[in-house]
């Protein structure tokens, strides 16, 4: 889905869509990447690796939700809830993790579509104190971790 890009907020929403569902030039989108991974691969922890794929997916979900909350409410999030550990991942729990990732993306995307360009320089908490900076950082963060997931899955090939 390509949106009209007549405003900066619409362009940012379009970039979110491309990076999440497909059409980004950087490589596979987040949703198509995780959809191709089995729960066995998602749960496997490589020796010396701090996180599994499912933990990274939950981390991305956390920060998509955080961006949504920061823009929609102006409130901050409890960063202590980040990086939840996942034990005994079942196929059902993996599907749930993917569904929660999709829901977090959809909430943020909807918020950005409804965003007026005049709000992009409004302050928010986080490392870049504007909504624009938060959205650009969210795109960078998600792309980084999606690439990490691709790399882990290729190394595991299980």
Q: State the residue for tokens 């996180």.
A: 51
Q: DSSP label at 36? A: T
Q: What is the pLDDT of residues 10-40, one digit of tens each?
A: 999 999 999 999 988 878 999 999 999 999 9
pTM: 0.92
Does residue 6 have a pLDDT over 90?
Answer: no
The average pLDDT across 34-60 equals: 93
Give the separation between CA 153 and CA 35, rounded to whole angstroms: 12
**C-alpha–C-alpha distance, residues 149 and 154, integer Å:** 9
CB 58 within 8 A of CB 34: no
Q: Does position 77 have pLDDT exceeding 90, yes or no?
A: no
pLDDT at 70 over 60: yes
Assess whether pLDDT exceeds 50 at residue 2: no
Kindly list the domain boundaries of the chain, sorted by start residue: 8-17+38-156
CATH superfamily name and code, 8-17+38-156: dinb family like domain (1.20.120.450)
List the one residue out of 156, 144, 157, 154 whose CA is nearest residue 56: 144
């Amino acid at each position: 889905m390509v949106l009209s890009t007549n405003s900066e907020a619409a362009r940012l929403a379009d970039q979110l869509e491309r990076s999440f569902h497909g059409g980004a030039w950087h490589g596979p989108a987040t949703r198509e990447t995780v959809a191709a991974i089995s729960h066995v691969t998602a749960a496997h922890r490589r020796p010396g690796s701090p996180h599994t794929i499912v933990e990274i997916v939950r981390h991305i979900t956390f920060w998509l939700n955080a961006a949504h909350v920061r823009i929609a409410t102006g409130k901050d999030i409890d960063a202590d809830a980040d990086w939840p550990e996942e034990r005994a991942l079942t196929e059902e729990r993996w599907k749930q993790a993917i569904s929660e990732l999709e829901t977090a993306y959809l909430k943020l995307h909807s918020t950005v579509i409804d965003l007026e360009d005049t709000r992009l320089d409004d302050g928010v908490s986080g490392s870049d104190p504007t909504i624009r900076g938060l959205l650009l950082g969210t795109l960078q963060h998600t792309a980084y971790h999606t690439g990490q997931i691709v790399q882990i899955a290729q190394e595991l090939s299980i």
